[in-house]
Structure 1
Amino acid sequence: METLDCISAVARPIHDFGDEFMSDEATGAVGLSAGFAPGRGFYCRGRFGVLGEAPASVVQAVQGFLGPHLVAAGWLAGRPVMPAEEASACYAQAVRTWGRAHIPGDVDVEHFNHLAQQLIDGADALPLFAGWRAQACPGDDPVGAAMQRIHVLREHRGACHLAAVRLCGLSAQDAMVINLGVEQAAHYGWHEPHPVAATRVPRRQRAEQLTDEMQAPLYATLTDRQRTEFAQLVDALTAD
């Protein structure tokens, strides 16, 4: 499989599987049992805790696509519950637990983990992704580890896409409106978002292409056969 074909094949399943985890009530329940109040505290403190005890403005700048007030409120609400490092470890545990419940039992997760780790090890140290790459991943839980590696690879593409959106002359808010619509952009924290001019809409497609191009050197480290196997494994792993 060619490099860009592999990227195209795995981008959406990796993104959507991660979305399912983040939006699942079971994930929220983990946060509640850990002491977080209902809302975005566990999500913000857990996902972005790999950045350490950073100011809310830094967290917002790194994550990019969520509205700044949503991120700041969630980050600050979660701060009294537990330190950032502990929160990210709790979130990683929730990632692995969710994976064990949703990854099909017949997937060759050992081979997936080998290929995914090869990609992770060879990737540029982009913000947020680098923090999650450094997060401990237990060796005695191959299914949970596969889900954590899905999450780490999702963060890599997200970091690439944020840069690509900016390079294409779009704001993060514009990208969210084009991708999801005004109502959903507001749901994700953007205050009174407005429709984007039709002449600017093609820039998002260019941003997607640029994101693929930014990831191409990474996936080029796999052989044609490995890229085919990786795409097949991602498809099987996310088939829940």
Structure 2
Amino acid sequence: MEIFDCIAAVAGPVHNFGDEFMSDEATATIGLRAGFAPGRGFYCRGRFGVLGEAPAAVVQAVQGFLGPDLVATGWRVGRPVMPADEAVACYAEAVRTWGRAHIPADADVEHFNRLAQRLIDAADADALPLFAGWRAQPVPGDDPVGAAMQRVHVLREHRGACHLAAVRLSGLSAREAMVVNLGVEQATHYGWHEPGPAAAALVPRWQRAERLTDELQAPLYATLTARQRVEFAQLVDALTSTQTS
């Protein structure tokens, strides 16, 4: 399998599987049990806590795609609950717990973990702080299924960080990119207040951003052989199927 074919095959499933985890009521329940109030506190504090005790404006600049009020509110209400590093550990455990509940029992997580870790290790994290923060989090050696889900999350953060850089390089704001990609209603759901419809002229910029994102990820997938890229695409498909264990 060619490099860009592999990237195209895995990008959607990795992103969507991570989205399912983030939006699941079971994930929110873990946050509630940890002391977070209903809302975005656990999500913001847990996911972005790898940046440390940063001001909300810094968190917003790093993550990009969520509306600033959503991030500022979630970060503010989550701060008193626990320190950033503890929130990250709690969120990472939620990631692994969700993976144990949703990754099919017959998926070859051991082989996935080997190939996924090779990709993660190969990444240049310069200008990708959110990815770098998640890559630095410990992965348990005695929980291969949970570890697989954590690696899915880390790979998702890599593509997201690359995509934010590509969007800006293509002449789009994060808000414009969200509207082009998801439409006004969904952009509003993700915290952008009253975004207008995307101008037709922005669509080619979005398409360029997608190509640049793939190019930024290409060095990772170049570390796999053509056969390993086929295997990795198959493994991602198996892990992110809708079955439950």
**TM bracket, shorter-chain basis:** over 0.9
| Residue-by-residue CA offset, 1:73-106 (whole Å, 9 max, x unaligned) | 1001000000000000000000000000000000
Q: Does 1:176 align with 2:182?
A: no
- The residue that corresponds to 1:95 in the other structure is 95
One-letter amino acid matched to 2:122 = G
Q: Provide the C-alpha distance between the structure 2 equivalents of 1:238 and 1:184, rounded to a whole number of angstroms.
A: 23
One-letter amino acid matched to 1:149 = R
Q: Provide the C-alpha distance between the structure 2 equivalents of 1:196 and 1:13, rounded to a whole number of angstroms.
A: 26
- The residue that corresponds to 1:20 in the other structure is 20
Deviation at 1:122, TM superposition (A): 0.9
Total equivalences in the alignment:
240
| Residue-by-residue CA offset, 1:3-47 (whole Å, 9 max, x unaligned) | 000000000000000000000000000000000000000000000
Q: 2:203 aligns with which of 173, 186, 201?
A: 201
One-letter amino acid matched to 1:11 = A
| Residue-by-residue CA offset, 1:153-204 (whole Å, 9 max, x unaligned) | 0000000000000011000000101111111111111111111211111211
State the SS of the aligned residue for 1:44: helix
Q: Provide the C-alpha distance between the structure 2 equivalents of 1:107 and 1:191, rounded to a whole number of angstroms.
A: 41
The answer to whether the 8 A contact 2:180-2:202 is kept is no
Q: Does 1:132 align with 2:134?
A: yes
- The residue that corresponds to 1:36 in the other structure is 36
One-letter amino acid matched to 1:218 = L
Q: Provide the C-alpha distance between the structure 1 equivalents of 2:225 and 2:57, rounded to a whole number of angstroms.
A: 40
- The residue that corresponds to 1:141 in the other structure is 143
What is the root-mean-square deviation in Å for CA atoms of aligned residues?
Answer: 0.6
State the SS of the aligned residue for 1:81: coil
Q: Provide the C-alpha distance between the structure 2 equivalents of 1:236 and 1:187, rounded to a whole number of angstroms.
A: 30
Q: Does 1:151 align with 2:153?
A: yes
Structural mapping, 1:55-94, within 5 Å = 55-94=55-94
Q: Provide the C-alpha distance between the structure 1 equivalents of 2:136 and 2:17, rounded to a whole number of angstroms.
A: 21
- The residue that corresponds to 1:185 in the other structure is 187
- The residue that corresponds to 1:113 in the other structure is 113
One-letter amino acid matched to 1:16 = N
The answer to whether the 8 A contact 2:96-2:150 is kept is yes
State the SS of the aligned residue for 1:121: helix
- The residue that corresponds to 1:231 in the other structure is 233
Q: Provide the C-alpha distance between the structure 1 equivalents of 2:122 and 2:202, rounded to a whole number of angstroms.
A: 34
Q: Which shifted more, 119-128 or 157-166?
A: 119-128
- The residue that corresponds to 1:163 in the other structure is 165
Q: Provide the C-alpha distance between the structure 2 equivalents of 1:153 and 1:226, rounded to a whole number of angstroms.
A: 17
One-letter amino acid matched to 2:66 = L
Q: Provide the C-alpha distance between the structure 2 equivalents of 1:72 and 1:13, rounded to a whole number of angstroms.
A: 29
One-letter amino acid matched to 1:135 = Q
Deviation at 1:124, TM superposition (A): 1.1
Gaps of 5+ in 2: none
Structural mapping, 1:45-64, within 5 Å = 45-64=45-64
One-letter amino acid matched to 2:156 = R
